[in-house]
Amino acid sequence: MLIIVGLGNPGLAYRNTYHNSGFNAVDKLVERRGGTFKRRICRAKVCELFVGGEKIVVAKPQTYMNLSGESVKELAGYYRAKPQEIVIVYDDVDLDLGVLRMREKGSAGTHNGMRSVVGLVGQDVLRLRIGIGHPEGQVPLYDFVLSKPKGAALDAWDDATTRAATALDRYIRTRSVSQTMQDLQ
């Protein structure tokens, strides 16, 4: 059992914003695997994939970012998954645009969605962070993360979410953080 959760905000207004990097990455993973988000359970859009006979649940919480942990906790209970069987994918302003980092556990850092997950599920969830960089100039962080990348930034962001989908696919097969990240370097 593995649950992969992409963090983001529901609704067309948030589509393709930096803050929806997690949604974009899991959308690409599901598309690559030939699945669709058919079900709505635990306040999330869910796709159940089977890889090598194992169920892989891919989810996009519909609770809005700051309450993501509520949906993740419900999904863990519904599927009887341990925190170590959960992968959270999300944007990170503390990483340069396009940089990917996978870690087995840790704090939430500055990310409110991840803070919600850690607060309700614990620190032992695997996380794949997608770097979006810092805003330039005097742009408030809130406005930056809810903006849509443009030009070269759009290309770098799209590439990063594609590589994140590749990393998730590799992790599904290897269950090795070090192997997954080494292959992406």
CATH classification at residue 93: 3.40.50.1470
Once rounded to an integer, what is the mean pLDDT over residues 134-143? 90
Residue 72 · residue 117 · CB < 8 Å: yes
Task: Please indicate, yes or no, whether the overall pTM of this predicted structure exceeds 0.95.
Answer: yes
Alpha carbon distance 141, 93 (integer Å): 9
Full domain range(s) for residue 64:
2-184
Q: Which residues are catalytic?
A: 19
Is the pLDDT at 112 greater than 70? The verdict is yes
- Alpha-carbon torsion angle 139, 148, 59, 161, nearest 10: -100
Once rounded to an integer, what is the mean pLDDT over residues 86-96? 97
Is the pLDDT at 182 greater than 90? The verdict is no
pLDDT computed for residue 181 by the predictor: 86
Average model confidence (pLDDT) across the chain? 95
Alpha carbon distance 58, 164 (integer Å): 14
Is the pLDDT at 176 greater than 90? The verdict is yes
pLDDT computed for residue 84 by the predictor: 95
pLDDT computed for residue 109 by the predictor: 87
Once rounded to an integer, what is the mean pLDDT over residues 115-135? 96
Number of separate domains in the chain? 1
